[in-house]
Amino acid sequence: MRRLGLAKRTEEAYADWIRRFILASGKRHPSTMGAREVETFLTSLAVRDNVSASTQNQALSALLFLYREVLGTALPWMDEIRRAKRPQRLPVVLGRDEVAALLDQMTGVQWLVASLLYGSGLRLLEGLRLRVQDIDFGRREIIVRDGKGGKDRRTMLPAALVAPLLAQLDEARRIHGADLAAGFGEAWLPHALARKYPGAARDWGWQYAFPATQRSRDPLDGRVRRHHLDESVIQRAVKQARARAGIAAPATCHTLRHSFATHLLESGQDIRTIQELLGHNDVSTTMIYTHVLNRGGLGVRSPLDRGADSTRA
């Protein structure tokens, strides 16, 4: 999986599904099993565990990877297993007043990260993984490196966040200086850059803009580094802020990204530009936000309102 460049989370998920499949099949070797065992396993996930369609499809993808890439076995029957149909859901979107109320209940670095998710349309991990060198204050833009699908993209840096972000980088520089003085100060580098440029891991530009509060040992190579802030910190802060603001909608960190796209559409921004800012492969993915615009039922006026107007007249 690492040779093929799969994401760390994909690696963890696939390994877990393969392990669960083997255990559910009585610890038999996968090469001795076939379509019946795979279908039985997937059916048990749907019927007994009541998992979602996306979870079923992830399990199937893991087993496809196991047979095709790990075992190198050509099994035509795997292509005949149909993926679960994912239901089409509308994204949860907050109104502008609700976003303001949510952010008003947050402070410090949690507020700054949440504001970036809404103001720049970032995914949560895209925001937390920002390096110092990825923030261009002169052009007021943010470069997202290795986003979903392994793609880079550029998005806007809101003017309102320039001063708070500069202050955050000052704090990150202070932490980095303390780490260097203590004999640490390395950041994790992708794609073997640490071997190609041995000193780069300690360079200021490669440090995370939102460093973790403590150093930790990397489980892959055992080196002690300061990683970025854990995502659970922001997720918990958003959940608590939503409760304090009295927002009934099940808003999460990703809701702020949905709200970013919807509010841009409401303000008249073209769909192609929003597609580029969000990093969607296909404009059809971005088109989902046209269905949640606050225009009173897609801009159609209810006949009940027309009747009420004539009655009042």
Contacts of 34 (CB under 8 A, 6+ apart): 75, 77
To which residue do tokens 């929003």 refer?
274
**Catalytic annotation present for 257:** yes
**Catalytic annotation present for 148:** yes
- Collapsing DSSP to helix, strand or coil, 204 comes out as helix
What pLDDT score does 85 carry? 67
75 plus 115 within the same structural domain: no
135 plus 246 within the same structural domain: yes
Domain boundary among 48, 80, 112: 80
109 plus 144 within the same structural domain: yes
Q: What angle do CA 218, 17, 128 make, to 5 degrees?
A: 40
pLDDT in tens, 132-142: 999 999 999 99
75 plus 99 within the same structural domain: no
Is residue 160 domain-resident? yes
Is residue 144 domain-resident? yes
What pLDDT score does 76 carry? 65
* Length of the chain measured in residues: 313
184 plus 206 within the same structural domain: yes
Cα(69)–Cα(96) distance, integer angstroms: 47
68 plus 158 within the same structural domain: no
Residue 136 gets the label, from left (phi > 0), alpha (psi -120 to 50) or beta, of beta
Q: What total number of domains does the chain contain?
A: 2
Q: What angle do CA 198, 199, 200 make, to 5 degrees?
A: 100
14 plus 123 within the same structural domain: no
Is residue 306 domain-resident? no
**Catalytic annotation present for 289:** yes
Is residue 31 domain-resident? yes
pLDDT in tens, 27-66: 999 988 877 888 888 888 878 888 888 888 899 889 989 9
Is residue 71 domain-resident? yes
Q: What angle do CA 62, 189, 277 make, to 5 degrees?
A: 70
CATH number for the domain that contains residue 25: 1.10.150.130
pLDDT in tens, 202-233: 999 999 999 999 999 988 778 899 999 999 99
Nearest to 254 by CA among 112, 91, 54: 91
> Is the pLDDT confidence value at 82 over 70?
no
- Collapsing DSSP to helix, strand or coil, 207 comes out as coil
Domain boundary among 33, 54, 80: 80
230 plus 278 within the same structural domain: yes
The mean pLDDT value of the chain amounts to 86
Is residue 36 domain-resident? yes
Domain boundary among 46, 80, 114: 80
CATH number for the domain that contains residue 146: 1.10.443.10
Is residue 313 domain-resident? no
Cα(278)–Cα(271) distance, integer angstroms: 10
Is residue 268 domain-resident? yes
What pLDDT score does 141 carry? 94
CA distances from 70 to 4, 23, 78, 120, 305 (A): 11, 18, 15, 39, 62
Q: What's this model's pTM, rounded to 2 decimal places?
A: 0.78
Q: Do the beta carbons of residue 185 and residue 202 sit within 8 Å? A: yes
- DSSP assignment of 267-306: TT--HHHHHHHHT-SSHHHHGGGGGS-SSTTTTPPPHHHH
Q: Of 123, 129, 225, 242, which residue is the catalytic one?
A: 123
What pLDDT score does 297 carry? 46
- Collapsing DSSP to helix, strand or coil, 185 comes out as coil
- 8: part of which helix (H) or strand (E)? helix 8-24
Cα(20)–Cα(109) distance, integer angstroms: 38
DSSP state of 208: B
289 plus 199 within the same structural domain: yes
Q: Of 20, 148, 154, 215, which residue is the catalytic one?
A: 148
For residue 17, the one-letter residue type is: W
Q: Which domain holds residue 74?
A: 8-80
Question: Exposed, middle or buried by CB within 10 Å (0-12, 13-18, 19+), for 115?
Answer: buried
108 plus 250 within the same structural domain: yes
What pLDDT score does 294 carry? 46
Q: Of 131, 226, 257, 258, which residue is the catalytic one?
A: 257
The Cβ of residue 90 has, within 10 Å, a number of other Cβ atoms equal to 10
Q: pLDDT confidence of 296, banded at 50, 70, 90?
A: very low
37 plus 181 within the same structural domain: no
120 plus 217 within the same structural domain: yes
